[in-house]
């Protein structure tokens, strides 16, 4: 049985709804915080006018009487003693509350004041303590089928049995900052009694989240700071230069700069621990290939870790090609290999018969043993998160590490968020690139869009279509992916091959479709956002995004980065009837950093990490941007905590950091 069923009012059906909100247990439910509050001033009944909306506190004086009408309607009446006078309350269709309306109980009634009849026509009843303060009503995100008020009630019912008030802020910091207790904070976030306490509750919970995050980052940094000459790798720059000269293109200045930074890292008596941030298509892969080549020259093995098999395969093909004149042994280790094939690779890795292994994160998670692992590269870092970094350390292997991320984060934030990493940035795109032309169209302009698609198809180019999600979520009228497929088939099905890729397919089916698109056998790929990050299909020149307003700017920018990957002119068409101003930013610039700045301003960190959030940065209440000041304070406090070696004194905090490391 799911523990959520222990909560009053929650049955299997409700659990399904809760799951949709990512609530799977009591802990999740308690940490489902309101996203805003409504503040209503309490009324003075003596001054209220006829028909004025009022909020009145009082004590129930009489047992409610219920009158039932046809069609399940009902009216409940009782008397309420307010601080001024005794009044009548009539509430409609709230008969289900009757068992809670006991004589002597204090409640707040919201409704319309019928002065003539000394009666409130109530439309809501809230169970509160008597108070003169404004009434603060928490508003929660919910999902269709789950009433907001019920959700709030479940949370309140949970508070009654919840007792895990573990405090992850050390007592000296609680004192110094005059934080309220964890328990008080949780109670006040869900049932605020006044604004000043609510503010304290929010501050405390935000700080705690950010403090733990910064502890984790600094813990990592500490682990990486060991100085030892064994980490020095002497790179033969001439050989590297020769390799670069033979590449099919000239490196951009930013690529060269980053390569120099890597060479510099390698010669330090410290592990390399570097993040390469670069816009989609900026050419991060080649930089990592050169790093791999340097490792090879220094007789070390490298591992290249990517989030999906399809991306692993693509890197494998490309990199093999780049190394074709060099005696580097490259292998691919992915889940779909047979046990025999895998075993062979394991043996070869151990005997250093493989110089570069490419695969998913199984590369460092399973019991893969290396002869001499010098470098681990993680592509599309934002798909992995901090825990992956810890995993490496926990395994006791200490190779150099390079992370590559296409999510540009403004530098001030990056320095804090990735406080344990050195950061390199590739800003310029390769010179042969044409800017992607982006259009914003209304749904009624679909004919124009189809015409644009037709032109591209006739040039022999391929097209991505991003459809709305397949699950009809919430009550928005998202056009359905199946309907879309049908329409595209009507328009283009005779001459062109159309396929649909969505989250309900299993990974084999997805891989097959993706591979077929890569091979040029599919002309139009309709998909939900499961389009793999990082795939490189130079012949794809158009990206159509339906309901574009659903996405953050950075996400759309990432999506459109799937096109414009060759010297062909590419296009992105955003279709939306809403949020014209915001989406227009994308028609004006292709600069991922500028877009991410704009996103930051508009939505806070919300969308920063793309459509698949990495678990650890998915805060419940804190926000990197809005709470940047708190973050800086938490950073200082966390640094001191670690430098004073306080983990042993605070086993609860230690355990929290360590368990959060093991989860992934």
Where do contacts with ligand ADP occur on this chain (CB under 6 A)?
249-252, 255, 278, 280-286, 406, 430, 432, 534, 536, 565
Q: Is 408 in the site for Mg ion (CB under 5 A)?
A: no
CB nearer to ligand ADP: pick between 416 and 554: 554
Q: Which does 614 bind (CB under 5 to 8 A by kind): ligand ADP, Mg ion, none?
A: none
User: Which of ligand ADP, Mg ion, none lies near 278, with the C-beta cut-off 5 to 8 A by kind?
Assistant: ligand ADP
Give the count of alpha carbons within 13 A of 339, CB side only. Answer: 0
359 binds, among ligand ADP, Mg ion, none (CB under 5 to 8 A by kind): none
User: Exposed/middle/buried for 370, CB within 10 Å: 0-12, 13-18, 19+?
Assistant: buried
Q: What is the distance between the alpha carbons of residues 101 and 88, in angstroms, rounded to a whole number?
A: 14
Q: According to the binding rule CB under 5 A, does residue 561 interact with Mg ion?
A: no
* For Mg ion, the closer CB: 288 or 605: 288
CB 391 within 8 A of CB 664: yes
Decide: is 534 part of the binding site for Mg ion (CB under 5 A): yes
Angle between helix axes 182-190 and 195-224 (nearest 10 degrees) is 130
Q: Which is nearer to Mg ion, 468 or 534 (CB)?
A: 534
Distance between CA 559 and CA 552 in Å, rounded?
11
468 binds, among Mg ion, ligand ADP, none (CB under 5 to 8 A by kind): none
Shortest Cβ distance from residue 397 to ligand ADP (Å)? 25
Pick what 430 binds: ligand ADP, Mg ion, none; C-beta below 5 to 8 Å, kind-dependent.
Answer: ligand ADP
When the beta carbons of 34 and 610 are compared against ligand ADP, the nearer one is 610
Q: Are 543 and 573 in contact (CB under 8 A)?
A: yes
Of 459-467, 492-500, 526-534, 541-549, which segment contacts Mg ion by CB under 5 A? Answer: 526-534
How many residues sit close enough to Mg ion to count as binding (CB under 5 A)?
Answer: 1
* Residue 152 C-beta: closest distance to Mg ion, Å: 44
| 281 touching Mg ion, by CB under 5 A | no
Q: What is the residue whose two structure tokens read 């049985």? A: 1
The SS3 of residue 572 is strand
User: Which residue lies nearer to ligand ADP by CB, 406 or 548?
Assistant: 406
Q: Which is nearer to ligand ADP, 431 or 490 (CB)?
A: 431
- Strands 301-305 and 135-139 come out as unpaired
Nearest residue to Mg ion on Cβ basis: 534
Phi, psi of 464 (to 5 degrees): -100, 135
The count of other CB atoms within 10 Å of the CB of residue 639 is: 17
| 122 lies in the binding site for Mg ion (CB under 5 A) | no
The partner in contact with residue 28, picked from ligand ADP, Mg ion, none with C-beta cut-offs of 5 to 8 angstroms by kind, is: none
Stretch that binds Mg ion, among 39-47, 494-502, 528-536, 649-657 (CB under 5 A): 528-536
The side-by-side arrangement of strands in the sheet containing 301-305 is 330-333, 356-359, 301-305, 373-378, 400-405, 273-278, 422-426
- Please name which of 276, 280, 279 lies closest in space to residue 290, comparing C-alpha atoms: 276
Residue 92 CB, shortest distance to ligand ADP, in Å, is 59
- Tallying the residues shown for the chain, one arrives at 664
Q: How far is the CB of 511 from Mg ion (least distance, A)?
A: 18
**Minimum gap (Å) between residue 283 Cβ and ligand ADP:** 3
Q: How far is the CB of 279 from ligand ADP (least distance, A)?
A: 7
**CB contact at 8 A, 330 and 316:** yes
Q: Which residue sits closest to ligand ADP, CB atoms considered?
A: 283
Query: Which partner, ligand ADP, Mg ion, none, binds residue 282 by CB below 5 to 8 Å per kind?
Result: ligand ADP
Strand partners, 376: 303, 401
Closest approach of Cβ 285 to Mg ion, in Å? 5
- DSSP SS3 for 282: coil
610 in contact with Mg ion (CB under 5 A): no
Our CB check for ligand ADP shows the closer of 87 and 421 to be 421
Query: Which among 576, 577, 503 has a CA at the least distance from the CA of 546?
Result: 576
Closest CB 540 distance from ligand ADP, rounded Å: 12
Residue 536 contact among ligand ADP, Mg ion, none, beta carbon within 5 to 8 Å by kind: ligand ADP
Q: Are strands 106-114 and 53-60 parallel, antiparallel or unpaired?
A: antiparallel
Binding of Mg ion by 374 (CB under 5 A): no
CB of 596 to ligand ADP, least distance (A): 15
**H or E stretch at 204:** helix 195-224
When the beta carbons of 426 and 553 are compared against ligand ADP, the nearer one is: 426
| Helix, strand or coil, per DSSP, at residue 373 | strand
Query: Which string of DSSP letters, residue by residue, matches 89-135?
Result: EEEES-GGGGGG--TT-EEEEEEEEEGGGTEEEEEEEEE----SSPE
CB of 499 to ligand ADP, least distance (A): 23
Question: Residue 163 or 519: which CB sits closer to ligand ADP?
Answer: 519
Which has the closest alpha carbon to 230: 273, 275, 274, 266?
A: 266
Q: What is the chain's alpha carbon radius of gyration, rounded to the nearest angstrom?
A: 30
CA distances 489 to 336, 453, 498, 524, Å, are 32, 13, 7, 10
Residue with tokens 């709470």: 627
Of the pair 250, 442, the CB lying nearest ligand ADP is at: 250
Work out what residue 381 binds among ligand ADP, Mg ion, none; the CB cut-off runs from 5 to 8 Å by kind.
Answer: none
Name which of 283 and 610 has its Cβ closer to ligand ADP. 283
Of 280 and 638, nearer to ligand ADP (C-beta) is 280
Please give the residue ranges that form the binding site for Mg ion (CB under 5 A).
534
């Amino acid at each position: 049985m799911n523990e959520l069923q222990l909560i009053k009012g929650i049955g299997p059906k409700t659990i399904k709804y809760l799951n949709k909100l990512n609530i799977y247990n009591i802990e999740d439910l308690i940490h489902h915080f309101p996203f805003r509050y409504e503040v209503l001033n309490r009324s003075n009944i003596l001054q209220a006018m006829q028909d004025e909306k009022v909020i009145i506190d009082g004590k129930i004086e009489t047992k409610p009487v219920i009158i039932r009408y046809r069609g399940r309607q009902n009216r409940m009446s009782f008397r309420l003693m307010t601080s001024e006078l005794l009044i009548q309350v009539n509430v409609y269709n709230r008969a289900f509350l009757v068992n809670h309306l006991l004589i002597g109980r204090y409640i707040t009634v919201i409704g319309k004041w019928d002065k003539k009849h000394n009666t409130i026509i109530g439309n809501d009843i809230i169970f509160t303590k008597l108070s003169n303060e404004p009434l603060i009503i928490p508003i929660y995100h919910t999902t269709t089928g789950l009433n907001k008020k019920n959700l709030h009630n479940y949370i309140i019912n949970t508070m009654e049995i919840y007792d895990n008030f573990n405090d992850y802020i050390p007592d000296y910091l609680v004192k110094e900052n005059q934080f309220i207790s964890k328990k008080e904070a949780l109670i006040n976030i869900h049932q605020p009694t006044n604004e000043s306490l609510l503010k304290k509750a929010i501050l405390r919970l935000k700080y705690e989240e950010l403090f733990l995050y910064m502890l984790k980052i600094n813990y990592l940094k500490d682990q990486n700071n060991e100085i030892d000459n064994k980490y020095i790798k002497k790179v033969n720059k001439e050989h590297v230069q020769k390799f670069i000269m033979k590449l099919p293109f000239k490196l951009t200045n930013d690529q060269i700069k980053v390569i120099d930074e890597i060479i510099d890292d390698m010669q330090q008596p410290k592990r390399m621990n570097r993040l390469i941030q670069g816009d989609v298509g900026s050419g991060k892969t080649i930089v990592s290939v050169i790093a791999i080549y340097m490792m090879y020259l220094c007789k070390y093995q490298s591992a290249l870790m990517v989030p999906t098999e399809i991306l692993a395969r693509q890197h494998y093909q490309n990199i093999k090609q780049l190394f074709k004149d060099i005696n580097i042994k490259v292998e691919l280790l992915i889940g779909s290999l047979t046990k025999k094939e895998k075993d062979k690779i394991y043996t070869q890795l151990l005997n250093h018969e493989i110089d570069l292994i490419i695969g998913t994160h199984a590369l460092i998670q399973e019991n893969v043993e290396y002869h001499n692992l010098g470098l681990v590269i993680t592509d599309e870092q934002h798909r992995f998160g901090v825990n992956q970094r810890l995993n490496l350390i926990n395994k006791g292997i200490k190779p150099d590490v390079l992370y590559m991320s296409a999510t540009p984060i403004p530098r001030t934030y990056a320095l804090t968020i990735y406080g344990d990493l050195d950061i390199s940035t590739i800003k310029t795109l390769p010179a042969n690139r044409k800017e992607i032309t982006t259009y914003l169209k209304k749904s009624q302009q679909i004919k124009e869009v189809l015409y644009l698609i037709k032109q591209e198809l006739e040039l022999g180019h391929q097209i991505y279509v991003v459809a709305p999600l397949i699950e009809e979520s919430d009550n928005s009228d998202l056009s359905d992916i199946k309907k879309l497929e049908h329409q595209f088939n009507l328009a283009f099905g005779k001459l062109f091959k159309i396929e649909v890729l969505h989250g309900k397919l299993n990974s084999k089916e997805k891989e097959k479709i993706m591979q077929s698109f890569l091979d040029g056998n599919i002309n139009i790929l309709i998909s939900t956002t499961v389009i793999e990050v990082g795939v490189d299909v130079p012949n794809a020149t158009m990206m159509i995004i339906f309901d574009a307003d659903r996405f953050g700017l950075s996400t759309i920018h990432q999506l459109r980065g799937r096109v414009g990957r060759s010297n062909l002119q590419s296009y992105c068409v955003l279709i939306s009837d809403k949020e014209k101003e915001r989406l227009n930013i994308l028609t004006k610039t292709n600069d991922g950093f500028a877009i991410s700045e704009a996103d930051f301003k508009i939505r806070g960190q919300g969308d920063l990490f793309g459509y698949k959030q990495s678990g650890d940065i998915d805060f419940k209440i804190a926000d990197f941007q809005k709470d940047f000041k708190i973050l800086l304070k938490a950073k200082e406090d966390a640094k001191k905590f670690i430098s004073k070696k306080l983990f042993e004194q605070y086993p609860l905090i230690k355990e929290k950091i360590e368990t959060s490391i093991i989860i992934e």
